[in-house]
């Protein structure tokens, strides 16, 4: 798997995990944050990466700072890359 594809999968998985831990539906989260529901669905499925504007909109609704989200993704990316060696 290419790094970009892996990155999309990890970001989507982490956002979905946080959303479900907060007992939020996709619809509820997208309404609250103002993020397009179809776009968010593609992000969660690992088809797209969120841009900064999307992350900025999600940060309050998901109660997470952008830097914490990036740190979590970075740690998982490093772990996956180490596994592949």
Task: Kindly report the CATH number assigned to the domain that includes residue 53.
Answer: 1.10.260.40
Please give the model's pTM, rounded to 2 decimal places: 0.88
Please tell me the total count of domains within the chain: 1
**Which residues, including other chains, have CB under 8 Å from residue 7's CB and lie 6 or more apart?**
49, 73, 77
Instruction: Please give the full DSSP string across 18-80, using - where no structure is assigned.
Output: HHHHTT--HHHHHHHHT--HHHHHHHHTTSSPPPHHHHHHHHHHTT--HHHHHHHHHHHHHHH
Domain span holding position 54? 3-84
| pLDDT on residue 83 | 83
For residue 47, the 8-state DSSP code is S
| pLDDT on residue 18 | 94
State the pLDDT confidence band at 1, using cuts at 50, 70 and 90.
Answer: low
- pLDDT tens profile 55-71: 999 999 999 899 999 99
**Counting Cβ atoms within 10 Å, is residue 48 exposed (0-12), middle (13-18) or buried (19+)?**
middle
């Amino acid at each position: 798997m290419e790094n970009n594809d892996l990155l999309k999968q990890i970001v989507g998985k982490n956002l979905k995990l946080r959303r479900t831990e907060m007992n939020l539906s996709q619809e509820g989260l997208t309404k609250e944050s103002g993020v397009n529901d179809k776009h968010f669905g593609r992000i969660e499925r690992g088809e797209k990466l969120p841009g900064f504007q999307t992350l900025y909109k999600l940060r309050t609704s998901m109660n997470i700072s952008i830097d914490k989200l990036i740190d979590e993704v970075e740690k998982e990316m490093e772990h996956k890359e180490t596994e592949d060696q």
